[in-house]
Amino acid sequence: MDPSAPIPLDEDEGLLVDRARRGDAEAFRALVDRHRDRAYGVALRVLRSAPDAQEVAQDAFVKAWRALPGFRGESKFSTWLHSIVVRRALDRAATLKNRRAREVDLDAVAEPGAADAGTSADRTALRMRMERMLDRLSDAQRTVVTLYYYEERSVDDVATALGMPTGTVKTHLSRARATLREAWLAEHSEEAG
């Protein structure tokens, strides 16, 4: 197969991976095109910052390109790639958490009465409420919740992507649900009271 030949849109991913492993930049570009949105989405859900998610996704693709010759194919390429994205996102989240602990974030202060502005504001308030509750989760729990609920991955896929046993994934999900339920009920009782 001529490595400079255009890549058909329906080319099997395995063939693209094989070509990319041999240094075919066009084949890797096709893989990037196929997985860019999901990689960015995973990073965004972990980090909740578009610029940071974009940076993490790009960094993950660079790392994947460099590590591709060592990819053994024991899992799907997408699972392998998502594990790189998740690890990069968790590293970035830890860095940001440490930075935020030292800085005052004035943007987090809501203006009084902003939630009374109507339906769009109600949705924004609900989204902010969910973000506050997600902040109560550990990085590992937030990542498991992101992959399981937002990315709709199975427990086994999440375990593979994160390199942890399925029992640990189930424990993180259970504890995250309990934490979120507690937070929701606590905020609801404050509003009612």
Single residue among 86, 105, 124 that ends a domain in this structure: 105
Q: Both 47 and 78 in a single domain?
A: yes
Is 173 inside a domain boundary? yes
Q: Both 33 and 78 in a single domain?
A: yes
Single residue among 84, 105, 126 that ends a domain in this structure: 105
| CATH number of the domain where residue 20 is located | 1.10.1740.10
Single residue among 80, 105, 130 that ends a domain in this structure: 105
pTM of the entire structure?
0.57
Is 58 inside a domain boundary? yes
Q: Both 150 and 100 in a single domain?
A: no
Q: Both 87 and 122 in a single domain?
A: no
Q: Both 177 and 148 in a single domain?
A: yes
Q: Both 33 and 81 in a single domain?
A: yes
Sign of torsion, CA 136 43 37 50? positive
Is 29 inside a domain boundary? yes
Q: Domain span at residue 18?
A: 7-105
Q: Both 89 and 130 in a single domain?
A: no
SS3 of 72, please? coil
Q: Both 187 and 131 in a single domain?
A: yes
Is 110 inside a domain boundary? no
Q: How many domains does the chain have?
A: 2
Q: What is the pLDDT along the chain (193 residues), one digit of tens a residue?
A: 444 454 444 468 889 999 999 999 999 999 999 999 999 999 998 888 899 999 999 999 999 999 999 888 888 898 899 999 999 998 888 877 766 654 443 333 334 444 444 577 777 777 777 777 888 888 888 888 888 877 778 888 888 888 889 999 999 988 988 888 888 888 777 766 5
Q: Both 100 and 131 in a single domain?
A: no
> Which two structure tokens, joined as six digits, stand for 160?
């593979």
- Beta strands in the chain, from DSSP E residues, in sequence order: none
